[in-house]
Amino acid sequence: MKYLDEYRDPALAVKLLAELHATATRPWAVMEVCGGQTHTLVRQGIDELLPAGIRMIHGPGCPVCVTPLEVIDKALAIAARPEVIFTSYGDMLRVPGSAGDLLGVRARGGDVRVVYTPLDAVRIARQHPDREVVFFAVGFETTAPANAMAVRYAADAGIGNFSVLVSHVLVPPAITALLDAPDNQVQGFLAAGHVCAVMGWTEYEPIAARYRVPIVVTGFEPLDLLEGILMAVRQLEQGRSEVENQYARAVRRTGNTAAQEVVRRVFRVTERNWRGIGPIPTSGLALAAEFSAYDADTRFATTGVRTEENPDCIAGAILRGTKLPTDCAAYGTRCTPRTPLGAPMVSAEGTCAAFHNSGRRPAPSTVEEIG
Amino acid sequence: MTTIDPTRATCPAPQAETERVLLGHGSGGQLSTELLDDVIIAELGTAGPLEDAALVGIADVDAVFSTDSFVVTPRFFPGGDIGSLAVHGTVNDLAMRGARPVALALAYVLEEGFPLAELRTITASVAAAARACGVPVATGDTKVVGAGAADGVYVTTTGIGVRLRDAFPSAAGGVPGDVVLLSGHVGDHGTAILSAREGLGFEAEIRSDSRPLHDLVAAMIAAGARDVHALRDPTRGGLASALNELAAASEVAVEITDADIPIRPQVAAACELLGLDPLHVANEGCLVAFVAPGSADAVLSAMRGTEAGQAARAIGTVTGGPAGQVTARTTVGARRVVDVLIGEQLPRIC
Amino acid sequence: MCLGIPGRIVAIDDRADPADPVLGTVDFAGLRRSVCLDFTPAAGIGDYVIVHVGFAISQIDEAEAAKTLAVLDAIPDVWETELGPEAAT
C-alpha cells in the first residue's frame, strides 16, 4: 500500500540500524508513548535489534490499558440492560471489569456490537428508535474528534436515543506526570504520530524546554520508529532537547484545526483517573454542558465501583516504565492474555500482552528494578 | 502538579469466564483448544493428536471420516455461501488425511420461519459444489426448531473418503528438516466474511477462497508420496493456529519468514484498517504442508500445476525445537514468536 | 495507538443537508470504504488521507513523504562492510 510499504523496506531498516549503532555512544532510555508503536516494535522485533544501551520504555499510550476500572464496570452495567444496544470499538470487549467483561455480557444475552466508526453507532440509533444506543467513547486525542462528531451529528439530527460513555484521555499531561515522578527514568520521548496529526506539537514545546527532554513526533511503520529513535538519540548525544517531527508526511506543527474545533465544542477538559497512574488533572475529556444530555453515565445513573487491588499486578509500574512485564511475579503464569490480571495484558497493544505474544517468558526468579 | 503515588496503581482481578460458552470458544484459537481439552475430550476420553479427519478401518479399506458444522454470518458472501462452504470444508478435512472423498451426509437445523426460497438456493449450492467435487450427497437429515431457537439455518456435513495409496499425512508427522509449503494467499475468507458482515461497510472485491483441495492433495501425494508428512487447512484461527497445532502435535519447532507469506493487497488493507493479523484470519481454500526436503521441490511444482496451488510457496522450515514453538523472521530481519489467537478476533482502533 | 491507515480519496458524496457529514469514498489498495472528510476540507479526489475510525484526520503531504525517504536513502551503506554480508540479509 502506498505510504505504508515504502516505510517497511528492510534494506533501509538495516541502514538506519547501522546509523543508530554508530550514533549511540552510551546508554539511553527512550519512551514510545503510543501503544501502536509498542506493537510495531515488538511485532517486528525491532527492540532486539537496537544497540545494547538503547532501552525502549513502553509508555501508557494504550487507551484500553489506562481506562479505569470503574468506567469498565459502568460499561458492563449499561450493556447488560435489556433496552440498550451497547456499541464499542473492538478493543474494549475483553478488558476485565470487576465482574467479567463485555464479551461475557454478550454471552449472557446483552446486545453488544463492535463498530468500526462512531458514525455507525449513530446509524444504529437511527435504525432502532425503540432502543437506547450507547457508544463507548474511549481513546486519545486522535479518536476524540470522531467521537465528538458523532455526538454533534446525533444532536443536529435530533436523535434522542443515542448517548456516549466517555473516557477520553490526553497525552501531554500524562507525559508531564511521568516526568514529575521521582522514579522517572525516561530521557527522551517518541510522541504519538496520530495524536499529533490532530493536535500538532505546540503543547510539547514547553515540556521539552522545561524538562530538557527531546521529543520526536514519530510515525508507526518500522522505518518511522527507527528514524524516530535515531533522532531522539542524536539529540541526547548532542545535549539538545527540542521537539522534532519525524512524521512530516502526516503531521503539521498546528495539527488539524477543524478536528480540534469540534473537540473543543463537544468536550471539556477534566481530571481523569488513569489506571496504574492515578488521577491526573486536566488529562481527560468529558462532555461539555451543551451536550450533557448525551452522557450515558447520567442517563443510566451508573455509579463507580471500588475495586480491590490485585497486589500481584504491577500495571502501575509498567505503565510508568519503571518495570518490565517480565519483572512481574504473575507474568506468564497467573497473568496471561487468556486470563489477564491487568489491562496491559488485555489489549494487543498492552505492554504485557505484546511481550507475551512475542514469546518473552518470565525472567529468572530474581526480580530486579531495571535501569 | 501531580506526582505519582505508586500505591494508587490499581489492577483488577477479573473473573475469567468459566461457566458459559463464549463466541471465542468457536474462534479456532486458544479458547477453542481449552473447550476441547477441558470439556469435550475430557468426557469422551479420546487420545492422540487432533486430526482434521479420522482413519477408520472398514473391512480391508482405509476409510477416512470427518464432520463439520457451519454457522457463517452472512450466509452468502463474495466467493461462496454456507452451502458450498459446507461441502468444501468437509472435503478438505478428508483431503488433509490424504483421502479422496467418497460420500457426504448433509444435515440441516432450520429455524421456524426460514424462507424456503433461501433453503432451496443453499441446497442447490450444496449440490453444485458436491457435483464439482465428484462426491454424492448420499444421506442427510432435517430438523426444525422454533423461531428464535436458531439463527436461520445451521448446516452439518459429514464425509467419508478413501485414503490414497502412499498418503500418510498426519498432524503429528512433521520432522526436523521438513520444508513448510503454503498453497496460496492467506486471509481471503475471513476478510471477505468481515467485509460482507453488516457494519464494517467495505465495498471490497475480496472473495472467499472457499474451494475443494482434494485434487491439490492428490497432486502432492503423486509427487511426494510418504514424504508429505503433514497437511492442514488453516481455517478458523488462520495460518498461525494451524502451524502452532502442527508444531505441537509433531513436537517440533517451525520457522517461517513473514515476507514469504502471500497476502492479496485488499486483504492486507482490510487487516491494516481493522488491526487484524493476517496470520490469524480464516481461510477456506488453502493448505500448509510439511514435506521432506528431498521431495519439497517436486511437491511444490506439482502444487503450482493445480488450480488451488498456483500461488504455492515455501515459507519456512521445521526445526528440532523447542517443541511447539513457531517463530517468524520479520520484515526488518528480527525474530518473533507466532502466537495463536486467544479468542474471538476483534477489530481494534489502537 | 491510534490505528491510522493512508488511503486515496476516489469520490466525494453530495450532501442533502449542509448539517450532514461530508462523506467520501477512500480506496486502500483496492479496498474501499465510506469515510468522513469533515476534518480534511482541503483534500480532493486523488489526494491521500490518513483514516482513523472512519474519519480522515490528516492529508498526506506527498513532498514531505518523498523527502523522508530521500533522507533515509542518503544514509551511507556501511553495514555490510562493518558486519559482514549476512547481517544485511
The tens digit of pLDDT for each residue in A130-186 reads: 999 999 999 999 999 999 999 999 999 999 999 999 999 999 999 998 899 888 899
Return the partners of chain C (3 or more C-beta pairs < 8 Å). Answer: A, B
User: For residue B252, which of B187, B344, B177, B309 has the smallest C-alpha distance?
Assistant: B177
Q: Report the C-alpha gap between B32 and B48 in whole angstroms.
A: 17
Q: What is the mean pLDDT of residues A301-323?
A: 69
Q: What is the mean pLDDT of residues B271-289?
A: 94
CB contacts, 8 Å: A126 with chain B? none
Distance from CA of A95 to the nearest CA of B (A): 9
Q: Report the C-alpha gap between B246 and B239 in whole angstroms.
A: 11
Identify the three-state secondary structure at position B157: strand
Q: How confident is the model at residue C76 (pLDDT cuts 50, 70, 90)?
A: confident
Q: What pLDDT is recorded for position A365?
A: 40
Tell whether the model's pLDDT for residue A193 goes beyond 90.
Answer: yes
Contact C40/A256, CB-based, under 8 Å? yes
Q: Report the C-alpha gap between B29 and B24 in whole angstroms.
A: 8
Q: What is the mean pLDDT of residues A282-304?
A: 92
Tell whether the model's pLDDT for residue B6 goes beyond 70.
Answer: no
- Does the pTM exceed 0.85? yes
Q: What pLDDT is recorded for position B18?
A: 65
CB contacts, 8 Å: C5 with chain B? 269, 272-273
Least confident of A277-291, B214-228, B316-330, C67-81: C67-81
Q: What pLDDT is recorded for position A86?
A: 98
Distance from CA of B269 to the nearest CA of A (A): 7
Distance from CA of A38 to the nearest CA of C (A): 9
Eight-state DSSP code of residue B20: S
CB contacts, 8 Å: B195 with chain C? 31
**Other beta carbons within 10 Å of B282:** 27
Q: What pLDDT is recorded for position A310?
A: 61
Q: Report the C-alpha gap between B96 and B52 in whole angstroms.
A: 7
Q: What is the mean pLDDT of residues B171-198?
A: 91
Q: What pLDDT is recorded for position A233?
A: 98
Contact C1/A117, CB-based, under 8 Å? no
Q: What is the pLDDT of residues A227-275, one digit of tens each?
A: 999 999 999 999 999 999 999 999 999 999 999 999 999 999 999 988 7
Which region holds residue B219: left if phi is over 0, alpha if psi is between -120 and 50, else beta? alpha
In one-letter notation, the amino acid at residue B189 is: H
Kindly identify which residue of chain A lies nearest to residue B342, measuring between CA atoms.
A338
Q: Report the C-alpha gap between C28 and A85 in whole angstroms.
A: 30
Cα–Cα distance list, A8 to B76, B333, C69 (Å): 36, 11, 11
User: For residue A231, which of A190, A197, A195 has the smallest C-alpha distance?
Assistant: A190
Contact C25/B268, CB-based, under 8 Å? no
Q: How confident is the model at residue A70 (pLDDT cuts 50, 70, 90)?
A: confident
Q: How confident is the model at residue B111 (pLDDT cuts 50, 70, 90)?
A: very high
Q: Does B333 touch chain C (CB under 8 A)?
A: yes
Q: What residues have CB less than 8 Å from A101, skipping those under 6 apart?
A: A72, A76, A93, A94, A95, B14, B17
In one-letter notation, the amino acid at residue A7 is: Y
Q: Where are the beta strands (DSSP E) in A140-231?
A: 162-169, 188-192, 215-218
Contact B199/A120, CB-based, under 8 Å? yes
Q: How confident is the model at residue B46 (pLDDT cuts 50, 70, 90)?
A: confident
* Backbone dihedral angles phi then psi of residue A198, each to the nearest 5 degrees: -85, -50
Contact B14/A101, CB-based, under 8 Å? yes
Q: What pLDDT is recorded for position B204?
A: 64
Percent of chain B with pLDDT over 90: 68
Q: Report the C-alpha gap between A329 and A325 in whole angstroms.
A: 9
Eight-state DSSP code of residue A331: B
Residue of C1, C8, C28, C31 to mutate when probing chain B, most B C-beta within 10 A: C31
CB contacts, 8 Å: A359 with chain B? 325, 327, 336-337, 339
Distance from CA of C14 to the nearest CA of A (A): 17
To 10 degrees, what angle do helices C62-74 and A222-238 make?
70
Contact A250/C55, CB-based, under 8 Å? no
Which residues of C touch chain B, with CB atoms under 8 Å apart? 1-3, 5, 7, 25, 28-34, 51-54, 89
Q: Does B349 touch chain C (CB under 8 A)?
A: yes
Contact B272/C1, CB-based, under 8 Å? no
Contact C2/B349, CB-based, under 8 Å? yes
Tell whether the model's pLDDT for residue B12 goes beyond 50.
Answer: no
Instruction: Return the C-alpha torsion angle C70, C71, C76, C80, nearest 10.
Output: -80
Q: How confident is the model at residue B48 (pLDDT cuts 50, 70, 90)?
A: confident
Contact B202/C51, CB-based, under 8 Å? no
Q: Does A258 touch chain C (CB under 8 A)?
A: yes
Eight-state DSSP code of residue A363: P
Q: How confident is the model at residue A308 (pLDDT cuts 50, 70, 90)?
A: low
Q: In the A/C pair of chains, how many CB contacts fall below 8 A?
A: 145
